[in-house]
Chains A and B, each alone.
Chain A
Amino acid sequence: MANKGAAILECEDVTVEFDGFKAVQGMNLQLQKGELRFLIGPNGAGKTTMLDVICGKVRPSAGSVTFGGKVDITRKHEHQIAELGIGRKFQAPSIFKDMTVMENLEIAMRQKRSVMATLFARMNSEDEGRLNGQLSMIGLSSKGSWRAGGLSHGEKQWLEIGMMLMQEPEVLLLDEPVAGMTDKETDKTGELLHEIARARSVVVVEHDMEFVRNFASKVTVMHEGKLLKEGSMEEVQGDDRVAEVYLGRRREEHASRSTA
């Protein structure tokens, strides 16, 4: 299953160390253009760290991350990576709480990011249309002039997704987008995600298996910083090793119960 089509993102032998502790060890990940990929695994498997590596927050001690088939982004700064077209949504909503919802979207909007450009930037009607369109897509049309800090948890998550979309990245990295959401909010986020995945390549780290099952897409399982299994949800669920790392404890419990 190697190298078919154009890989937009290719991580090779990525290793990350924190003071001697190897959070990721020789991980490989290949993302095709337009693909929606789920990254799952037990706690501490190194999923979030992988996203950190791709978006430049963490420098790997070894390995390379190639974007668009040519640029090695492990040497680039976060803002350069973001400008190349990789957007990241963090687990905890991180929006600019003292600015309005509209202003949040405005600065996230795809535009020249230099001081000169922002100094003389004027809002034209096209921009305004895009902003309003985005606002209604994330369901916050009536709250454009709200202070972002005053939104609910779910709304903040959507605002952040909206900000990412305004960036118009080619690759989106989402870290547990439905964590802490109500069922209704989760459903709505699912719809948003379907919408997003239509036009872009997306990597989603997720714990909620129910949520993952809603998407017929490839799943990558990580365990202890390594690639464990890659394939469709069915393949992954049928895999013994995956069952062991995920359900191992439960099996042992069963075992101990039966012997007791």
Chain B
Amino acid sequence: MQLTRITGNRLWILGAYLVAAAALFSAPLVFSDFRLNLLAKFLAFAIVALGLDLIWGYTGILSLGHGIFFGLGAYAMAMYLKLEASGGKLPDFMGWSGLKELPLFWMPFENFGAAVALGILIPALLALGLGYFTFRNRIRGVYFTILTQALVIITTTLLVGQQAFTGGTNGVTGYSTLLGYSLASPETKRVLYWVTVAVLIGIFILCRYLTGSRFGKVLRAIRDGENRVRFIGYNPAVYQMVIFTVSAAIAGIAGMLFVLHVGIISPSMLGIVPSIEMVLWVAIGGRGTLIGAALGAILMNWAKSEFSTAYPEGWLFFMGAMFVIAVVFLPKGVAGLFQWRGKDRKKWLPAWARGSGGKLRTGEKEGSVPQG
């Protein structure tokens, strides 16, 4: 009966995923080195999108701070590369700022393994810290979102302001090798691409497991009604902290891969605008579906690289419009379009097409009636 149909469906989906994975792995056969490098960058963004979807799509907490977690991972990798490039000497920008010796906190980044570990740990710990001090006190919803945005502002200000230690506005750049291999050579690029694909698939599977487990169900329950979750005996704060931390760690991993493909990281790449752009990828692709989030990141970045150089003005108009469209017309993103089914169809329509706009108020949670 139903069971067989479900397993049949599952086989189809599994097959589709396998084909997609095979296609990703064989992309180097088709694409030029330049295109492959672009694609690798987009895949790194897709990884952030997966992490962001965990916290926003599944748990209902909007973080506008993922640029920072991404950036911290990126900085960790860039610091290692910079030290490798400097070959035991002081990195050039430190010399220009008058530093005489390597700051203490740069030391661990001389080791590749330590740098990678820190690239995951630092964003994770920062997220854990912020999560601890907010979720525990039930600071959530928009308040949390605003705090994450403030975190972005102060981190970028700090990175720019402490030029001697961070490279300031220019960021950390000017390196060409990783473990002795040239970052510019097509062979290295290809290997790095494959690494990125493998990491993406690994993280996809991880997210899949997380969201499918009972843990994931509790997360969705928190999204639906945090207080109710409390009264059936779960402590939402712990769940929120854990998923926020995991999400930040994933962003850190993506940041490390990003630096390897792009060769530079600077404060402008992790500021307010990139952070909220990440949210747009997930919104467009479809929050609450992993594949939607990943595809959203790839498609939006592909579109950006195609159009933004040719029509820089038009691109910003387009992006602004996409925010509005995604929220008003596509609350479930593009992935939501594929879930259209008979009686459900009305749900995806914008409020005004469904009937009076005022109706929404009583139906929605999240402070439906402004108090006070």
Contact = CB atoms under 8 A, between A and B. Distances in A.
Indicate whether A and B interact: yes
A55 B210 CA distance: 30
B213 A94 contact: no
A217 interface: no
Interface in A102-119: 103, 106-108, 113-115, 118-119
A246 interface: no
B238 A115 contact: yes
A207 B210 CA distance: 44
B189 interface: no
Interface string B215-251: 1011011011101111111111011001000000000
B231 A107 contact: no
Given A79-B230, A163-B232, A97 B224 contact: yes
Given A96-B221, A96-B228, A99-B220, A113 B235 contact: yes
Nearest to A103: B217
Contacts of B345: none
B266 to A, nearest CB: 36
Given A118-B213, A121-B214, A99 B230 contact: no
Contact of A106 (B217, B231, B234): B217
B233 A79 contact: yes
B215 A115 contact: yes
Interface in B111-144: none
A113 B217 CA distance: 12
A176 interface: no
A118 B220 contact: no
B205 to A, nearest CB: 15
Contacts of A57: 231
A89 to B, nearest CB: 9
A83 B231 CA distance: 9
A97 to B, nearest CB: 6
A88 B231 CA distance: 7
Contact of A107 (B218, B227, B235, B242): B218
Given A107-B218, A118-B215, A83 B242 contact: no
Nearest to B242: A115
Given A118-B218, A119-B215, A98 B233 contact: no
Contacts of A193: none
A98 B239 contact: no
A106 B213 CA distance: 11
Contact of A98 (B214, B218, B223, B238): B223
A25 interface: no
A78 B228 contact: no
- Between A96, A97, A103, the greatest number of chain B beta carbons within 10 A of the residue's beta carbon is seen for A96
B214 A118 contact: yes
Contacts of B233: 79, 82-83, 113, 167
B364 to A, nearest CB: 11
Given A78-B230, A115-B239, A96 B220 contact: yes
Contacts of B210: 119
A94 B228 contact: yes
Contacts of B228: 90, 94-96
A95 B225 CA distance: 8
A99 B215 CA distance: 14
Nearest to B60: A98
A99 B234 contact: no
Given A79-B234, A82-B233, A113-B234, A106 B214 contact: yes
Nearest to A160: B228
Given A79-B235, A113-B234, A121-B214, 4 more contacts: A78-B231, A79-B236, A82-B233, A163-B232
The 3 closest A-B pairs by CB, nearest first: A82-B233, A96-B224, A121-B214
8 contacts: A55-B231, A77-B235, A82-B230, A95-B228, A98-B220, A98-B224, A118-B217, A163-B232
